[in-house]
Amino acid sequence: MPIIKEATMSIKRGETLPVLSQRVRAQQKKKVPFDLKAFKKFVRTYEESDSVYDTDVFIKDMLYGIGLAVNKKEYEYFQGYKKFIDYLKTKMLK
């Protein structure tokens, strides 16, 4: 976790640095890691010789692949894709 993120956490009265570090580690464990291996596998399904992809479709496909790499169960299929796009709109594109 970046140092800046750690600094934004509230420190409880009397809490020592080791206790704060334990809370940071506990929060890190709750997060679902990005599955880079799964995303690379998804991207490899595209052939370099196929340069006829529509740009919009290609970008949407890559967003779908990113969603799968974030949380396959939650963002799989059309409903999952819509949910991931909604997440991006509300959390990432402010």
Give, in order, the Cα–Cα distances in Å from 77 to each of 5, 18, 34, 65.
32, 43, 18, 11
> Would the CA dihedral through 34, 37, 41, 47 be positive or negative?
positive
Q: In whole angstroms, what is the distance from residue 89 CA to residue 25 CA?
A: 28
Please give the model's pTM, rounded to 2 decimal places.
Answer: 0.61
Which carries the bigger pLDDT value, residue 30 or residue 4?
30
Residue 31 near residue 4 (C-beta atoms within 8 A): no
Which carries the bigger pLDDT value, residue 29 or residue 58?
58
Domain ranges of the chain: 1-31, 36-92
Residue 60 near residue 77 (C-beta atoms within 8 A): no
State mean pLDDT over 30-43: 84
